[in-house]
Chains A and B, each alone.
Chain A
Amino acid sequence: MTAPKVLAAGDAAFSIEFGDAIDPALNARVHALDRALAAAPLPGMVETVPTYRSLLVYFDPLRCDPAALREALLARTAATEGAAPAPGRLYRVPVRYGGAMGEDLEAVAAKLGLAPDELVRRHSAPEYRVYMIGFSPGLAYLGGLPAELVIPRRDDPRPAVPRGAVLMAGQQTLFYPVEMPTGFHVLGRTPVRAFDLARPEPFLLKPGDRVRFHAIGDAEYARLDAAAERGWTPEAEA
């Protein structure tokens, strides 16, 4: 296990780097420190941003001594190393695979040498880990895509795909919380809103949570989409 580094990120943030890889154990160390700091924040801290292999800690340089904070962060990091990883919550996310909502499913399956149904089975088999949330509101970077499903991005990115689009490219799969452009392949669409300001809890997923996809048909999609419009989200499971 490499020793974490505390790097200066300007005058008001430190980046605590645990390593240089996308790896569940490395990511769990990031989340362990994040949880410890949330439970007992250090003086001057403003907020934290957990990512794949590092934690960005924002602080107010007028309300603390950054050198002392740096030492305290190193001590806190050492104290959380080896902590049992929190299991996170599991969310089962329904997906209408293929058809008009998943226009790339057949082409991707063909490129991978799989029947479309087999691609759906393999994409919905793993329990994916939420490594981090970033880039846009509520966008979860999921890890754990089976190696045999790795495929390059599209040659021609799409200027916009709808909220709920379930996407795959490289080692990544994700679903869009809002309409955005993408170079990823569109496998399907989920009625689940990962981000909805009208809900008391606007963000469905937290870093460290787990996601499992399952296939649904048109009627179920329509039913759940209407429910989601009224605030429905999947139940969290242990």
Chain B
Amino acid sequence: MSALRVVQAGPYSTVQDAGRFGSQRFGISPAGAADPALLAIANRLAGNAPDAAAIECTLLGDTYEVAVESLRLAVAGDVAMKIDGEAAAPWRSYRLARGQKLRIGPCRTGLRFYVAVEGGIACAPVLGSRATHVRTGIGGIEGRRLKAGDALPLAQDAVATRPELGFDPARLPPAPERLRVVLGPQDDYFTPAGIATFLGSDYAVARDADRMGCRLEGPAIEHAKGHNIISDGIPLGGIQVPGNGQPIALMRDRQTTGGYPKIACLIGPDVARLAQKRPGEAVRFAALSPAEAQEAVRAQAARLAECLAGIVPLE
């Protein structure tokens, strides 16, 4: 079987695409790439559609061996890498031949990076997506993290020679200082002082932050009328505040419903920015009106489109 073989797996590498939509009403978490912009860049470098299934690595990354005649692979992220023991640069594509070995990681900044292969990772789609949701064992490779010995199925045995593509990461848009949120849907469960605490304090990413929830540690946020609501749907980036007053941002692997009040929701691009923060890093929030949020999201999409247009053949 045509495959990319995993020689050594990092702490949390999974197959991800844009996510699994349409089944949240049945309790199925969407999953999907924690940083969709980086997934799109890796895919474009490899010659794929922006949402093709690729590998999402966390901090340390993996070692692979090419187990097909040839393949084309690209890496998006500020990450150290070696091909057959020689230092190599990320942010570009490579055509590799059978037996070549690739060591990717650790990442130098951020937390998550992407390895795309031309044609995509060809594991079977589940409910319309190849994204891995580890907690329920759905999607990707047997619904779990990658491990040494895995053979990641590929769509093709060989790829044609063509100019390789590159991306200059200096083109990435500068990140605003604060993580942007829209208050609600349950901001009425908090006192004005509680909301002022939330928007005016530093919060540190907890050690056990993961793809489901990013627990944050800082000054306790004061509730106005208890910390239980009648369970409702949890939007992407919803920030719930349980009884201890410590906020938890709910990420791609979040449970579909929950019963804690949500003081605010991160805007989409800033869910990805939070997903790139390492444990201990401090974050601070800023509230936008819905109209300002829409403006910010459109601007971000335009900048990503410019980035993708800036992916060109290497000199």
Contact = CB atoms under 8 A, between A and B. Distances in A.
A3 to B, nearest CB: 16
Contacts of B238: 9-10
B25 A49 contact: yes
A8 to B, nearest CB: 5
Contact of A137 (B136, B290, B293): B136
Given A10-B267, A12-B268, A137-B27, A49 B256 contact: yes
Given A9-B185, A15-B185, A51 B265 contact: no
Contacts of B293: 10-11
Interface string A48-68: 111111111010011000110
B236 interface: yes
Interface in A179-234: 195, 197, 202-203, 207
Interface stretch (B101-109, B225-233, B307-315): B225-233
A67 B266 contact: no
A13 B166 CA distance: 35
Given A12-B268, A134-B231, A136-B255, A7 B25 contact: no
Contacts of A177: 27
A138 B262 CA distance: 24
A25 to B, nearest CB: 14
A137 B268 contact: no
A15 B233 contact: yes
A135 B256 contact: yes
Given A9-B184, A56-B235, A197-B138, A137 B26 contact: yes
B236 A51 contact: no
A8 B184 CA distance: 6
Interface string A140-175: 010000000000000000000000000000000000
A49 B233 contact: yes
Contacts of B230: 20-22, 51-53
B127 interface: yes
A197 B301 CA distance: 35
A8 B185 contact: yes
Contacts of A139: 27
Given A133-B27, A137-B138, A56 B233 contact: yes
B46 to A, nearest CB: 24
B294 interface: yes
Contacts of A53: 230, 232
Interface string A11-55: 111010100111000000000000000000000001111111111
Contacts of B28: 137
Contacts, number: 138
B257 A134 contact: yes
B291 interface: yes
B100 interface: no
B308 to A, nearest CB: 14
Interface of B is mostly: mixed
Nearest to B290: A8
Contacts of A203: 26
A132 interface: yes
A126 to B, nearest CB: 21
B255 A52 contact: no
B257 A51 contact: yes
Contacts of B172: none
A178 interface: yes
Interface string A94-134: 00000000000000000000000000000000000000111
Given A7-B184, A8-B290, A51 B231 contact: yes
B24 interface: yes
Interface string B264-285: 0111100000000000000000
Q: Which of B22, B232, B256 has the most chain A CB atoms closer than 10 A to its own CB? A: B232
A61 B21 CA distance: 15
B235 A58 contact: yes
Interface of B: 21-28, 126-127, 136, 138, 181-185, 230-238, 255-258, 262, 265-268, 290-291, 293-294, 296-298, 301
26 contacts: A7-B185, A8-B184, A9-B262, A10-B268, A10-B293, A11-B182, A11-B265, A11-B294, A12-B268, A15-B185, A46-B22, A47-B21, A47-B23, A49-B233, A53-B230, A56-B232, A56-B233, A66-B294, A132-B231, A134-B231, A135-B257, A136-B136, A136-B255, A137-B136, A197-B138, A203-B26
Given A9-B235, A49-B256, A197-B126, 18 more contacts: A8-B182, A10-B182, A10-B265, A11-B265, A11-B268, A11-B294, A11-B296, A51-B257, A55-B233, A56-B232, A58-B21, A58-B235, A62-B297, A133-B25, A134-B27, A134-B255, A135-B255, A137-B138
Q: Which 7 residue pairs across A and B have the least CB separation, nearest first?
A: A56-B233, A10-B265, A134-B257, A49-B233, A7-B185, A9-B235, A13-B235
Interface of A: 7-13, 15, 17, 20-22, 46-56, 58, 61-62, 66-67, 132-139, 141, 177-178, 195, 197, 202-203, 207
